Structure formats: C-alpha cells, structure tokens
Amino acid sequence: MAGVFSSAWFYWAIGIAFGLPLGLVILTEWQHALQRKHSALLRPVTILRNYLFPLAALLLLMLEANQIPAHATSVRVVGTLVAFVVLVLMLSGVNAALFQSAPDGSWRKRMPSIFLDVSRFVLIAVGVALIFAYIWGANVKGLFTALGITSIVVGLTLQNSVGQIISGLLMLFEQPFQIGDWIETPQAKGRVVEVNWRAIHLETGTGLQITPNSVLASASFTNLSRPDGKHVVEVMTVFAHDDPPDRVCAMLTRAASELPLCDPNRSPSTVPFGGMQYKTKIPLKSPGEDGKAKAMFLRWIWYSARRDGLHLDEAEDTFSSPELVEAGISKVVGPTFRLSHDEHQELIEHAKIELYGDGERIQRAGEVPGGMMFVLSGTVQMTANLEDGSEVVAWTQDEGSFMGQSTLTRQRVLGTAYAVGEVAVIYVEREMIADLVQRNPLLLQELGRTIDERRAHVLRAIDQATDTDID
C-alpha cells in the first residue's frame, strides 16, 4: 500500500480525477457568462471546454497515469487530436479577439473575409505539417520544397490572372462598398448582393450583373449609398418660353415634395437650367427608388402643370374648354345646386376642369379650400390623420359627389383627399359658390349638414383606428 502512495502515477490519476470535473464546472460557468453577454469569445471557450480540456486530460492520463510510451500509436493519435484542437482554438481566439470584436470603421473591421480565409488555410496547413513532423516523424521538407517550386511555376504561368485577382483583393481590402450598397459602374447600376474573391454580384432591374473585381479595381465607379442620407435623383424637364420661371420652379418643387418616396427629412429643389430646361433634385431614402420616383414625378407634373396653366414640353391644355366645362356643370353642378339657365351660363366663366393623376393629393388636411370641387369621373379617397402622423381611410367619393364645402365657412378640412386612378373635377371659385348659396338659403343648410356629417365621418374613422391600435 505504501508503494501506491509513493508512485507518481497515483497522484496524476488523483489530480486528473478531481481536476477534470472541477475544470469543466469552471469552464461551463464561464461559457454561460459569455453567452449572456453575447461575447465573441464564446466559441473559443466552447472549444476549450468541449474538446481541448477532455482530450488533454486523456493524454495526461495515458502518459503519466498509465505510463504508456510516447511513441505508442494510441498516444500519437490522441496527441494529434490535442495539437489540432489547440491550432483551431488559437485561430478561433485570434479571430474573436481581433476581428469579431473590432470597432466599426477600423482596419480590422474592413478586413475582407477572403483574406481571413486564405490566412486561416495557410496556418492550418503549416500547423498540420508541424504536427506530422514532430508527432509522427514525417519528413515534410520535401513537401514544402515541392509546393514552393510549384507556386513559382504557377505564378509565372498565370501572372496576368493572378495579378487581376490580387488587384481585386486589394480593392476589397479598402472596402469602398458593402453588402446592400447601391453602386453605379460603367456596365450597370444595382445593389450589391454578394462579394467574393473573383467578382461582385449586382442586383439590377434586368437581372444579376456579375462584375469582376479586377474591372472595378481598374475603373471608376460611384457608391450611391455613401454618404448615408445624401442620395438624390435629378430630373430634367422642359417648359415653354412664356412660362414664368419662378412659377415653374414652385410647381416642380411642390410636386416633388408630395411624392411618397421623397425623404421627409430633406427638401427637394428646382433651378432653371437654361434653354427652357429645369433641373429638379428629389431626395430619396434609397437609390433603389430612383426609377419609381422619377416615373411618378413625371406623371404627376403632367397633370400639375396643366392645372397651374404651365406648358410642360410646350404642350397646350385642351381638356378645359368652355364647351367641356359647360357639359360638366350640366352633369354634376347643376343637379346639386339646382341651377337655373342663367345661373348655369354665369357659372361657366368661374369654373374650370382639373385632372389629377393616380395617387395625387387633391386636398390636404388642415388647409382652407379656395373653392368647391365636383367629381366628374374617377374615385376620390378621403383619409383622416392620426396622432402619430399616419392616415386611415374614412370614406370614398365617386362621380357626382363634391368636396371643399367648408370654403364657405373658412374652416380647415380634417381629411386628406387622394385620387384613385385618374380623376376629373369641376373646380368652382369660392366667390361664385357664396353668391349661389345666398340666392338659395336651403342650399346653405344642406351644405352645413354635409360639413357636419363629414366631420363626424373623420372623427369616427380616427376613433376606430385608435381602438384597433389599443386592442
């Protein structure tokens, strides 16, 4: 019995028997603490707890407790596993400490993944070679010599291709763009969806554009997403010589600010560009909205220019002739106001036909209408504004209905009106409406009742939307 206590293997066995569970408990607590903090060191600690610590205990148990010779195959196998896990742990620890926890904007954060992958592969190859050389006694000098000669031959043979790859990798190291950025190259314009060692993939409107990194490294391109919040789309338009430039600029700027894609934190602007041309700059949240915003803007100013008496592309307005106005009054205004023949003829001089494109705002909440509008064709959607700035649909109006009746009481409207599809309306000035109402007191009572009903509609829609949000 005394011989057992005097043997070295006994103390190794006791130390491993108590040290392994204790170490696992300590590493487990450390692992849970890192997991709660979402630390980048979680993976290295997990490798240490699950693989390296048990394998190291097994290796010590075989060498010291069981006294197995170091050159035995079983010991070499376990030693190889321990050495390989140590190599993986070192790579994982360096990656977590230097790159995963790197602050934004630092060179460590800008390091392309391809460089890390290549470096990791080289280190693993060297580590495996050293493991086989020192544990298994393999001669790896010849292997390294052959690899060196082969790399020289391959480099001389493919020097142009390798040079392009290196130039592309250097460009990736600089990182002039990131995944999700919009860039414009001589070949295409699109959003970066993938970057690898050979090329970048751009998602364009016509498909996936594959552009080699070497092409971008040797040419200039534009990153439309940087700096953040500075992207604008420029639209050129042409108006007639006789159109006042200030009125044209005001109309174009107003139409641009009404676009739902316009950045609400920035304001559009318009300047004369000479030769009847005007340039409008529309701030957008994303370069991906360029095409849609430009198409909507050009469609809306076609209608807006004609309503303001301007001549987009030097075109003349032909849809508000006296004959068409007279037909529209007979269709929707006359039956509503019960006009006599003389009143009908008198009203023609104080009315006009206006067209609105799909989605255009016809009436804004909070404004005092300058006159009344009678819907000739199309559908108008009335919305109510909520406290958080969003809108909820209150009701819709079709052909024969009217809006802007609060122009007589000079009250601000509660709801906003939008065109659903193309909408044509008869617009009648406030003074003429007031004159007609004075001649017909019953009509004033009906308009007052309509005002109260529509205000009740708006308030009811707001209450219902609020109750829905609470639920």
Specify whether the CB–CB gap between 61 and 16 falls below 8 A: yes
pLDDT tens digits, 431-470? 888 888 787 777 777 777 777 777 777 777 777 766 554 4
Question: What per-residue confidence (pLDDT) applies to 148?
Answer: 63
DSSP 323-363: HHHHHHIIIIIHHHHT--HHHHHHHHTTEEEEEE-TT-EEE
Say if 176-223 and 232-307 have the same CATH topology.
Answer: no
- CATH topology for 176-223 is SH3 type barrels. (2.30.30)
- In this prediction, residue 348 carries a pLDDT of 85
Give me the mean pLDDT over the 232-255 stretch: 93
Residues 6+ apart with CB under 8 A from 134: none
Report the candidate in 101, 110, 102 with the shortest Cα–Cα distance to residue 177: 110
d(C-alpha 193, C-alpha 209), whole Å:
10
Phi and psi torsions of 421, nearest 5°: 75, -170
pLDDT band at 167 (very low <50, low <70, confident <90, very high): low
Per-residue model confidence (pLDDT) at position 106 = 63
* Cα separation, 460 vs 360, whole angstroms: 24
Question: What average pLDDT does this structure show over 134-142?
Answer: 72
Distances, alpha carbon 324 to alpha carbons 320, 330, 334, 426, in Å: 6, 10, 14, 10
Asked whether residue 270 carries a pLDDT value surpassing 90, the answer given is yes
Torsion of CA 130, 132, 134, 135, to 10 degrees: 140
Q: Is 267 helix (H, G, I), strand (E, B) or coil?
A: coil
Please state, rounded to an integer, the average pLDDT across all residues of the chain: 81
Tell me yes or no: is domain 232-307 CATH 2.60.40.
no
Rounded percentage of the chain residues whose pLDDT exceeds 90: 17
- pLDDT at site 422: 93
pLDDT for res 6: 57
Listed residue (343, 336, 210, 233) closest to 282, CA to CA: 233
Task: Render pLDDT for 74-133 as a digit per residue (tens, 0 to 9).
Answer: 888 888 888 888 888 888 888 777 776 666 656 566 566 666 666 777 788 788 888 877
> For the chain, what are the domain ranges?
2-111, 176-223, 232-307, 322-470
CA triple 290-291-293, angle to 5 deg: 65
| Residue 293: predicted pLDDT | 92
Ramachandran region, residue 410 (left: φ > 0; alpha: ψ -120 to 50; beta: rest):
left
**Domain 322-470 in this protein, CATH class:** mainly beta
Q: Give per-residue pLDDT as tens, 348-370.
A: 888 899 999 999 999 988 888 88
165 has a pLDDT exceeding 70:
no
Instruction: State the pLDDT at residue 384.
Output: 83
- Looking at residue 108, its pLDDT comes to 62
What tokens does 83 get?
A: 């050495």
Upper half-sphere CA count for residue 403 (Cβ side, 13 Å): 31
